[in-house]
Structure 1
Amino acid sequence: MLEFDVTFNFSEPINPATFTQSDISKTNCNLSNLIINGDEATVTATPGTDGTVSLWVTANKFKDLAGNWNTAIDPWSIIYDGTGSAVDFSTPEYPATNENPVSFTMTITETNGINGLTQSDIDANGGTVINWDYSGGNSATFDLQTDGTNGSYSVSIDDGAFTDDAGNNSEAGNIDGELDYEAPHSVNGFECAVGELTNLGSFTMSIHFNENLADFTADNLNKNNCTVTNFQNNGGGNYSWTAHPGNDGFVAISMDAGVCHDFAGGNGNVAVPAWSTTFDGTATTGEMTSDLTSPTNTDIIHVNLNATEMINLTVDDIEVENEELVLFSGSGDSWPGKLNLTEMVKSKPLPLDFRTKPEISESLPIPPLLKATEPLPKL
């Protein structure tokens, strides 16, 4: 702790027996080592805290050699500053930024003046200090010019880079942050287990971004013929939701560029291409037709199955009673076939029935079209 001597000069020699340290009034200090020598007295003062230190003597505290009491001695004071200047760096884009250059303010905590502060006192990693501005006082501003790539930065100043008016060395200060110039994006886009065609009334979708987003919600999704519920931020840039198709037909979800942002303070997202499927929630219907009328004695019966939509149909899906299916071909929504009547059918009055099996995918049982209710003539 700093200490210093304070000397009292009197107009004449004083009686040393009448003057002690307790006769001296003081603020913010301790006194010691009072020495009286004729018409002067010296005392050592040790300051308490930073601030004003004062000493004075009120009237009638000591006497001169003739026995006269003293008059009041006016206060003596000094400002004590035993602390070096504190330094704090700040930027409006903390802790991550996409600005270039990055603006900084250097705030100096000091009640008195400072000396020797220059731009060269600032150490910077991740960029170069430019636009230095300091003209005295307790604040300096500057910018950090970066190379525009992602990474980290640090700005600092060492102990003793400058001094205050009391001669104290300044304290060290620093700030560290992240540089983020990359727009948030998704490598794989929207992901969903549903294929190009589905009859599911709801299904889960997800997307993974390269970083967390500050403001991504379901409202940022473009929704065509569907709604979205149960939107979840699963952390680490992962998001999921449930999609609900509306009407039968085309269903799509996409995301425009710049509708949400990362936590760096402004990088808008890259557009996400549309994911789509076709929703078919309606059962297939159809009918069977033939140029023949019942009854018939034709042993080759041509039958057409016409469905209301494209279907996948195989010979195993066709159920034939009392007949033999000898030819089956078709595609899409039209499936022609031939029936070859057996000798048993020719000789017995059995009904003819050509229909699809009830378990066929996306189909309803189709009522029998051709019935032979009368005996067929023998050939």
Structure 2
Amino acid sequence: MTTSTSDPSKDLIRAKALELGFDLCGFAAVDEPWLAGERLKTFVFEGLHGTMGWMEETLERRSHPTAMWTDARSAVVLGMNYGPDVDPLAALADRDRAAISVYAQGDDYHDVIKKRLKLLAGWIVERFGGEVKVFVDTAPLMEKPLAEKAGLGWQGKHTNLVSRGFGSWLFLGSVLTTLELETDTVAQAGCGSCSACLDICPTKAFPEPYRLDARRCISYLTIEHRGPIPAQFRPALGNRIYGCDDCLAVCPWNKFASQAREQKLHARETLRGPSLAELSALDDPSFRALFSKSPVKRIGRDRFVRNVLYAIGNSADPSLMAAVQPRLADASADVRGAAVWAAGRLLEPAAFAALAAGLAASEADPHVLDELAAATEPRQPHLA
């Protein structure tokens, strides 16, 4: 790597990145030792990735940036602020309405970011030569440690990137290049003794600072986890039906994101606290229509409605039983099972026992039968 104290090409690239709508641009060497790869291997070997088998399958490719592309010498790492214009934690109080993670309330950020990355990459080649490849987080490149190395911020105790200028609200993207660009100064960590992000986690998914157990994380459970969500975590979901913003939203550094914020990614009004009852009635075509161009669409209608029914079960609103009733006969066993759980939470014990007896007589799926049996038992404390 060049040892010069100033690299004019970096200034030009950074200016172009800001022109294209990015808020941060940093530079890092990619042909140096990479401790993040070893940390990832430990994470996977200990099973903390849950059922995300793709992490194990792509482990070697994630082990080092050059494992993705052996000719790469530098990374241009970009950040885009997506800080919300309202407090996302306020949505948790509306128990008959859904809380959808901030990043998923607009168009899929992968598409938004990738278009700009390609424009920047093309400009770099045109201006400086070399070869380039672009990455967003759908590719097996560890962008958070790379962003830390490029000086965009540091990985906080919640394992997400924290920026002094934008808090925990940054989308990341990278351009790998064969050009040799001077590495930026690594940002100094600023978490100090703060543990707000760890303390607020509803499912206690952080066994220690800087370490996440994905199997307990609401984002993992509502998005990645297939089949029934373990019963011990369901009450802690509250009305969160896609992702969880708690550990991000409570970060004290977010105050700078709101001050510096320029609205680039717009939330859809239809996804700001939508009705749980209405969402529970979605069939596959209406689900696809509502979430067109949205990251939510990738989990599919059945998993989504499963989440909605858990939220209804947490609502403590017996009137929502009218929304649960049709789902007890849903074609999806996952949906039927979640509907059973919701009914068990909303109905009086005698009424549910009568309902369960009728359902059990015609139910063939073993998981749904287990739900029927479990829902008639005395409730146990969650998060055991």
Q: TM-score, structure 1 length as denominator?
A: 0.21
Asked which structure has the greater RCO (Cα within 8 Å, sep 6+), the reply is 2
- Which structure has the bigger radius of gyration? 1
Structure number with the higher strand fraction is 1
Higher helix share: 2
